[in-house]
Amino acid sequence: FWMVFEKIHLGWEFSWPWLNLGNAFSAYINWIQWYQFTGTFGGTLWILLVNFMLFKAYLSYNEFKEKTIIYRAVLKSILMIGFPILISYLILWNYQMPKDKISALILQPNINPYTEKYNTNDTKIGELLLKMSREAITDSTAIILAPETVFADGTILPGFDNSEAAFFGRQIASLQPNLSFLGGVSLYERFSDSSKVGPQSNLLRENDWFNDYNSAFLINNFSENQLYHKSKLVVGVENFPYQDILKPVLGDVMIDLGGTVAMKTTQPDREVFTLKDSVSTAPIICYESIYGEYVTGYVKNGAQFLSIITNDAWWGNTAGHRQHASYAKLRAIETRRSVARSANTGISEIIDPTGKVTHKLGYEKQGTLSGKIILNDEITFYALHGDYIARISKFLALFIFLFAIVGFKRSKYF
């Protein structure tokens, strides 16, 4: 039943799966290489089984007071904990790293959102990113990444190609003939046609609406500009949950963390961005990286590596930004994809397909990170089947529930 709760919690509008049990092993990646088969629900099941076995032994010992019960419980727990770890190490030792690689440059501008980010403008930000790129680029750099909403002024969607974000994106991309630039931008679309109003549209005044987007864009010199809109939204900041029910009661209680305080508009598909030579990447924006099955959608659409752009400055120097960075290792293992992670104030990282952090730039530091990104076309069992353990748990929970009802009625009448 706990796994059913975790699965439901991934999908409803109050979703905040930060503390799902399977996430706990992000600090112990050598133990969970089998996440490529199970995802984090395998870790949740592991924890539940071990605890159930120990609790059952405790109850038996309290009843019978036999030391052999304790001895058997210790032996079973050693096997139940040790066997999955052994399997993980065998997978790790036998894993063949893919050969194809590209060079990436990650920018970490370290702009404080409370004091700087929304008190500056896209021109100054663009000049900073261009300067950082010029100083760190090499002849082999294939992609440069900048953080989520690094261009935060608010650009009208139909005019994106003429925006400051697109201008500086082209300036950076022109530093090398085969270079692509991927960054974040705040976009909006304003309209008066009521037929365009969707469930995530925001009303300004009578007959005046706008859609607000937290978007990623990719620009290069050999293809059209590419856009993707963030589609897993932070509760209370980007998403007003069940607003038809709650807004009349609570009013407008969206949390202001700077920038535009409005309901964000999402898109239905997990779009991938294409670089030179048909290399493809997943443009994962911040909160989206917490959702394992969600990220597999990019992989099934052809992503050869994962690009995570985020702004974790809102956390301050707390465990939040460290946990968020650590969870990226889970996505690497589940999909066997390298991760290039650009975080505004850190932690920026490059992670290989086994979840190992190969390059890292710490919190509240301005700088760049250069390294090789491993490309992979393999589709793991988990990427193909998603959260199948949770779906099986739903079926079993329903069966147990119905069986309990039938048993109760039979005992009542017989």
Write out pLDDT tens, residues 259-294.
Answer: 446 789 889 999 999 999 999 999 999 999 999 999
The CATH number of residue 274's host domain is: 3.60.110.10
Same domain flag for 169 and 91: no
Q: Could you give the CA distance from residue 14 to residue 82 in angstroms, rounded to a whole number?
A: 36
- Residue 279 DSSP symbol: -
190 compared with 61, residue with greater pLDDT: 190
Same domain flag for 46 and 171: no
* Domain boundary, last residue among 95, 124, 141: 95
274 compared with 234, residue with greater pLDDT: 274
**Confidence grade of residue 157 (pLDDT, cut at 50, 70, 90):** very high
Of 132-141, 149-158, 200-209, 246-255, give the lowest mean pLDDT range: 246-255
Chain centre distance of CA 2: 22
84 pLDDT above the threshold of 80: yes
Same domain flag for 251 and 310: yes
Same domain flag for 135 and 23: no
Same domain flag for 270 and 230: yes
185 pLDDT above the threshold of 50: yes
Residue 285 has a pLDDT of 96
Considering the entire predicted model, what is its pTM? Answer: 0.90
Count of structural domains within the chain = 2
Task: Answer yes or no: is 153 within a domain.
Answer: yes
Q: Could you give the CA distance from residue 96 to residue 337 in angstroms, rounded to a whole number?
A: 13
Residue 256 has a pLDDT of 46
Same domain flag for 119 and 55: no
Same domain flag for 182 and 57: no
Same domain flag for 79 and 142: no
Average pLDDT over residues 232-254: 65
Residue 29 has a pLDDT of 96
405 pLDDT above the threshold of 90: no
Average pLDDT over residues 119-130: 90
Task: Answer yes or no: is 132 within a domain.
Answer: yes
Same domain flag for 33 and 132: no
Q: Could you give the CA distance from residue 292 to residue 284 in angstroms, rounded to a whole number?
A: 12
pLDDT above 90: percentage of residues in the chain:
61
Range of the structural domain that residue 354 is part of: 101-379
pLDDT above 70: percentage of residues in the chain:
91
Of 21-30, 128-137, 254-263, 395-404, give the lowest mean pLDDT range: 254-263
Coil vs helix vs strand at 87: helix
Same domain flag for 86 and 148: no
Task: Answer yes or no: is 388 within a domain.
Answer: no
Same domain flag for 244 and 178: yes
Q: Could you give the CA distance from residue 147 to residue 86 in angstroms, rounded to a whole number?
A: 38
**Confidence grade of residue 310 (pLDDT, cut at 50, 70, 90):** very high
Same domain flag for 149 and 227: yes
Residue 101 has a pLDDT of 96
**DSSP of 104-165:** EEEEE----TTTTGGGS-HHHHHHHHHHHHHHH--TTEEEEE--TTSEEEEEEGGGGGGSHH
Task: Answer yes or no: is 120 within a domain.
Answer: yes
Bond prior to 392 in cis (omega within 30° of 0): no
Q: Could you give the CA distance from residue 337 to residue 330 in angstroms, rounded to a whole number?
A: 10
Task: Answer yes or no: is 12 within a domain.
Answer: yes
